[in-house]
Structure 1
Amino acid sequence: MNLQRPNANDATRTANRSRDVVPMSGLCSRCVDGCTGNCEVFKATFRSRELIYPGPFGEITAGGDKDYPLDYSHLNIQGYAMGAKGLPEGVSASPDTATFPAVDTETEYGWEKKVKMRVPVFTGALGSTEIARKNWEHFAVGAALSGVTLVCGENVCGIDPLLERDSGGKVVSAPDMDRRIEIYRRYHEGYGEILVQMNVEDTRLGAGEYVHKKHGLETIELKWGQGAKCIGGEIKVASLERALQLQERGYLVTPDPSDPMNQAAFKSGALKEFERHSRLGFVSEEGFFNEVKRLRDVGFKRITLKTGAYGLRELAMAIKWGSKAHIDLLTIDGAPGGTGMSPWRMMEEWGMPSLYLHSAAYDFCKHLADKGERVPDIAFAGGFSSEDGVFKALAMGAPFVKAVCMGRALMIPGMVGKNIAKWIEDGKLPKTVSQFGSTPEEIFVCWEEVKKMVGADEMKNIPLGAIGFYSYAQKLKVGLQQLMAGSRNFRVSTVSRKDLMSLTEECTKVTGIPYVMDAYKEEALAVLNS
C-alpha cells in the first residue's frame, strides 16, 4: 500500500496530467514529450529550488498529508453508563450534578510556578513567517481572550527591519517583538501566558535578555526542533536589500545575495526571492543544563522546551534532561507537522509520526516515574484540530500530558475572522458566511460573550480574527466537555489511558492501549459471572 505519492500536490501548486500515476515516483504512467505540465518535475525544470517549498509564502500554511499506518483515528474514546470522577469536593454524583457544562476544562503546567489555562490547548510557535507576522493581532488577542498560552516563535527579533543592536551585536530595540508582547498583554486576564522561543540566532542576539529586561517576561522556550522539519526555521525574502541585511545580521541566506551572479539573476527577474535559514542546533547534556541555568540567572521563572519528531534517542534526552533540569513544559511535536514555510518533501518523509512518537514518550515518562523521578509536564503536538484529538492526546499521555499544542488549527480562525472583516468592508461576503447575517453581531455566535468580557466600548478595538479565535476555542471547550462527561471525567486530571481503546491490534502493539475486544473484558466477565 502506498502511503504518500510524490511529484504533485496542492501545497506546491502542481498536478499530474495523467489519470494514471506510478505510486512510488508520482510520475505519470505515460509521460509525453510536449506535455505542458504541471507536475513537480515539470515545474522544477524551470523554477528549480522554488519547488522545495509550499507556496505562496506568506499567504498559506501547509500540512503534510502522508497517510501513516497508524494515527490517532485508530483510537476510540470510551463511554460509561455510571460514575463521575473529578466533581468538586462535597458534590455527589447524580443526573443533576454530573452535567456536561459542569466539566472543568482548566489545566495547568509548570514545575513550581504554575500557569493556568481555561482550555488545555495552546498555539504553535508563531514566529518570523509572514503569515504569523501579519495576523499577529488576531492570534494574540484571541489567545488572551480565550485564556490560553501564546507561543511567539523564533527569529522575531532577528528579522525585524527596525532592529537595533549594540556594538556587541546584542538587541537594544526590537519594535516588532515589543508590539507582539504588548498586544497579548492588553487583554490578558491571568490565564495562559506569552512565551518566546529561542534558537541559535536568538541566543546570539540576546533576545532572551531583551524580552526579560524590557517586558519582564517570565517564560522562555528553548527549541530543539519541530514536527515539520529537521532543519532550522525559514522565511522567504522578496528584496535584495533585505536579503543582504539579514545576511549581515548573521543569518544563512540562500542563494548568496552577495554573489554578483545571484544579484544579476535577481535584477533580471529570474530569481524572485531569497531564503533566510536558521542554523542547526547542537545539543549536549552539559550545554543544555548550562543554558537553563544561564536563563534562570537572567531572571526567567519558567523554562520550557520544544522538541520535534526526532528518533527515540533524542526523545529520551529531552525527557530525561528536562526532568533533571526541572523544566516547566516539554512540547513533543510529531510528524508530519504544519508550517508557514518548510521543505515540502521533508515534511512528508522525515521523522516519527505523532502516534508513534507520543506512545514512546508515554513509555519513557512512565519509565522515569517508576524509578521515582519526577517527569516534567508534557504537551503533545502534531496534527490536532478538534476536541476528540485533544481528549485522545490527554488520555494517551496521562497523567503526564497537560495540554495539546495546536499550530494551524488555531491560526485558521484568526485568518477567517480577519477576512470576514474585509469582506464586510468590501460588500463581498461569500454565501458560506452571509447565510448567517451581514454584520459581525449577526455572524459571530460569541460576539456578545466577548462584549461582556471587554465592554461594549472596547469592542471596536477587538479584531474579528480574535473573535474567531475565541469562538473556535469555545467550540473546542464545549466539545471537550461533552466527551469528558461521557467518559465520566469532570476534571482534566482524571482523564486516563483507560478511557481509550485501540481499534486494531497493531495500534495496541504500538500504544499499549487495550484492543477494543479486550478493553474492560475482565470487568464484563465479572458481571456475567456474578
Structure 2
Amino acid sequence: MFQSLIRGIANDTADDLMGRMLKDEYTENLFGLITAAQKLTVRAIIEACMRGESGEVLSRSLGSPNVQSLWNKLYLNPTQLFSLPTKDEFAVDTQVTIGKNAVKPLKLSMPIMITGMSYGASLSLNAKVALAKGASLAGISTNTGEAPVTNEERKAATLLIGQYNRYRSLCTVEQLSQLDAIEVQLGQGAWGGAMVGSIKPENIGDHMRESWHLGENKPANRGSRFEEANTSKEIIDLVNKLKKDYEVPVGIKIAASHFIEKELDIVMQTNADFITIDGAEGGTAGSPPTLQDDMGLPTLYAVSRAAKYLEQNGVKDKYDIILAGGLSTPGHFLKALALGASAVYIGSIALIAMIQAQAVKATPNEPAPQLVLYDGKLTDELDVELGAKTLSNFLNSCNEEMKLALVAMGKTGFSQLSRADLVTVHKDLSDCLGIGYAGYPSN
C-alpha cells in the first residue's frame, strides 16, 4: 500500500516535470540549465559559483581537464615477417640509466619514476613514505618535490631525487649530499611555469616546520626565481656548480612552453645530465585553473620538439629527457620513449594506484585525495604498507606490459625505440612529430 502511494507520487511528479519541460518557454523551463551547461560547461559554472562565494583565486587539484596530447592517435608498430619479433620477453632488458656520464649514475629497473610531490606543500608524510616504499619495491626512484629530505622518506627510498627549489627547503650541503640525483626545479607544468607561492603559518604542522627549518609563526615562501640566480648566466653557473660539487646526476626541470627551444639553448650551456620537461597536462596538489588550462605546451608536442632540437644540436646523447605531464598508461610511456624520452615521471596515476584499495575509506563522504594531502582530513587512515604494495604492483604491471610490446616490435630494450616505431591516424601529428601516417605506406 505504502509503496503504491510512493510510486503514485513519484509518477505524478515526473509527469509534471516532463510536461513542463516539453511545453514551457525556455525562460521558465528547467531544460534551460542543460543548454546553459552545454554552452558554458558544467566546470565553468561550478568554478564561477566558487569564485562568487570566495572572491579569491581558486586552487584545483590533480591538474587540468584540458588534455590536448593525443596519445590515443598514435600506434606502435609490431613486426612479424620482414623483421621478426623478439623470441620471448625474457630477452628484454628493461633497465635504464639516467646520467650515464655522472660518477654515480642513477640506475632504474624500468623507465618509470615517481615525480616530485612535496611533503607539506602537497602530500602528507605517510603518503610520501608510501610512495618511497612502493618505488623501492619496484626498483625505481622517488622525488622529494619542493621539500627537504626528511629522515622518514630517505629511509624508505632506495633511490631519492631531490629538488633544489625556490622555497629554499633543499639547498644545503647536508641535504644535497643525501641524494641520488639533484633536480633544479625552475618550473612546473600545472603552475604555468615558475610561480610565486606561500604556505601560511597556520597550515604548517610541527614536523613540517622542523624539517623545513621554519621559524615559529613564519610562512614558507616561494619566489618565481632563485634568490641566487636572477639571470640566465647565474642559472647556468648554479647548475654547473652543483654538477662540480656532487657525483650524482644533476638535472634541470622546466615547464614546457612554446619557447622550449629557447629554453633548451640555455640548458645546453650547462653540464647537466638530464632535462625534466613537464607538459601542460601535469598534476598538482592545487593551483589556479587558469595556470592549468590556458598556459604551457601539451606534453606530446613538448617531448617531440625537445628531442628533435637536442638531436639537431648534436647533444642527444649528452642529456637524458625525463618526461612528465599527464602520462598514465604503459602505452603513453612507450610512445614517449619512442619520441625521445629516456624515462617518464608519473604522479597522479601513481597516487591513484597507491590508494586504489583504500579509497573506500574516504568515499562517498570525502574525495579520495583526503587520504594523501598534507591537510587532508583522513591522512591518518592511509595504510602505508598496503599503499606501497599496490603502487609496486601497478609499476610492475606496467613494466611487464611494456616488455610484451617490445617483444611484438622485435626489440630487446627501450633504448631501441624510435619515431620509426610509431604511426598515427592524424595527418597533422604525422607532420609535426615526424612519424608515419596510417593512410600512406611505410618507407
Instruction: Please indicate, yes or no, whether the TM-score normalized by the shorter chain is above 0.5.
Output: yes
Runs of 4+ in 1 over 6 A off after TM superposition: 240-243
Counterpart among 88, 96, 103 of residue 99 in structure 1: 88
Q: Is the alpha carbon distance of 1:210 and 1:350 closer, same or farther for their aligned partners in structure 2, counting shifts above 3 Å?
A: same
> Contact conserved, 1:501 with 1:519, CA < 8 A, in 2?
no
Provide the rounded CA distance (Å) in 1 between the counterparts of 2:316 and 2:349: 34
Q: What are the ranges of 5 or more consecutive residues in structure 2 without an aligned counterpart?
A: 1-30, 363-382
Distance 2:191 2:224 in 1: 11
Q: Residue 91 of structure 2 aligns to which amino acid in structure 1?
A: A
Residue number in structure 2 paired with 1:152? 144
Deviations 1:160-212 (A, max 9, x none): xxxxxxxxxxxxxxxx622221221xxx3xxxx2111022232xx66342213
**Contact kept? 1:105, 1:118, Cα under 8 Å:** yes
| CA shift for structure 1 position 335 | 0.8
Residue identity in the other structure for 1:239: E
Alignment of 1:40-119 (within 5 A): 40-49=47-56, 52-54=58-60, 61-68=61-68, 71-82=70-81, 98-113=87-102, 114-119=105-110
Q: 1:515 offset after TM fit, Å?
A: 0.9
Instruction: Work out whether residues 201 and 220 of structure 2, in 8 Å CA contact, stay in contact via their aligned partners in 1.
Output: no
Q: Which residue of 2 aligns with 1:261?
A: none
Aligned counterpart in structure 2 of residue 414 of structure 1, from 337, 354, 359: 354
TM normalised by structure 1 equals: 0.64
Shift of 1:402: 1.0
Separation (CA, whole Å) in 1 of partners of 2:203 and 2:122: 17
Q: CA deviation at 1:419?
A: 5.2
How many angstroms apart in 1 are the aligned matches of 2:322 and 2:96? Answer: 11
Distance 1:414 1:44, change over 3 A: same
Q: 1:130, CA displacement in angstroms?
A: 4.0
Alignment map for 1:113-512 (pairs within 5 Å)? 113=102, 114-127=105-118, 128-154=120-146, 156-157=147-148, 177-184=150-157, 188=158, 193-202=159-168, 207-213=171-177, 215=178, 217-230=179-192, 231-232=194-195, 234=197, 237=200, 239=202, 278-281=222-225, 284-312=231-259, 315-369=260-314, 374-397=317-340, 401-417=341-357, 463-512=385-434
Aligned CA distance change for structure 1 residues 109 and 507 (closer, same or farther; 3 Å): same
Q: What's the secondary structure of 1:508's corresponding residue?
A: helix
For the structure 1 residues 233 and 414, does the alpha-carbon distance in structure 2 shift closer, same or farther, using more than 3 Å as the test?
Answer: farther
Separation (CA, whole Å) in 2 of partners of 1:22 and 1:284: 46
Distance change (3 Å), C-alpha of 1:356 and 1:194: same
2: CA distance, partners of 1:374 / 1:365: 9
- Secondary structure of the 1:126 match is coil
Q: CA RMSD in A?
A: 3.4
Residues 62 and 338 of structure 1 are in contact (CA less than 8 Å); yes or no, is this contact kept in structure 2? Answer: yes
2:156 is matched by which residue type in structure 1? I
Give the partner amino acid of 1:485. Answer: V
Separation of aligned partners in 1, 2:238 and 2:253: 14
- The separation in 2 between residues aligned to 1:317 and 1:519, in whole angstroms, is 35
What count of residue pairs does the alignment treat as equivalent?
381
Task: Specify whether residues 277 and 502 from structure 1 end up closer, same or farther in structure 2 by C-alpha distance, changes over 3 A only.
Answer: farther
TM-score (norm 2): 0.76
Deviation of residue 117 (structure 1)?
Answer: 0.9
Counterpart Cα distance in 1 of 2:82 and 2:88:
12
* 1:41, distance to aligned residue in structure 2 (A): 2.3
Q: Which residue of the partner structure matches residue 513 of structure 1?
A: 435
Q: What letter corresponds to residue 202 of structure 2 in structure 1? A: S
Secondary structure of the corresponding residue to residue 39 of structure 1: helix
Is this contact kept in 1: 2:307–2:316, CA < 8 A? no
Letter in 2 for 1:106: Q
Question: What is the Cα deviation at residue 224 of structure 1?
Answer: 1.4
Deviation of 1:386 after TM superposition, in Å, equals 0.7
1:368–1:374 Cα contact (<8 Å) kept = no
Amino acid at match of 1:342: S
Seen in structure 2, the aligned counterparts of structure 1 residues 131 and 418 have a Cα distance that, compared at 3 Å, is: farther
How far apart in 2 are the matches of 1:147 and 1:359? 27
Q: Is the 8 A contact 2:258 2:297 kept in 1?
A: yes
SS at match of 2:191: coil
Amino acid at match of 1:222: V
SS in 1 for 2:345: strand
The one-letter code of the counterpart of 1:43 is: M
Partner Cα separation in structure 2 for residue 512 and residue 358 of structure 1: 12
What amino acid maps onto 1:382 in structure 2? G
Alpha-carbon distance, 1:418 to partner: 5.3
Q: Is the 8 A contact 1:138 1:418 kept in 2?
A: no
Q: Residue 316 of structure 1: CA displacement?
A: 2.4
Amino acid at match of 1:309: A
Q: Report the residue type matching 2:174 in the other structure.
A: Y
Assess if the C-alpha contact under 8 Å between 2:62 and 2:284 holds in 1.
Answer: yes
TM-superposed deviation, 1:250: 11
Q: Distance in 1 between matches of 2:186 and 2:204?
A: 30
Farther off after superposition, 403-412 or 231-240: 231-240
**Which AA in structure 2 matches 1:311?**
H
Contact 1:79 1:488 in 2 (8 A): yes
User: What amino acid is aligned across from residue 81 of structure 1 in structure 2?
Assistant: Q
8 Å CA contact retained: 1:308, 1:333: yes
For each residue in 1:494-520, what CA deviation from the matched residue of structure 2 results, as whole angstroms up to 9, or x when unmatched?
111111002111111221112112251
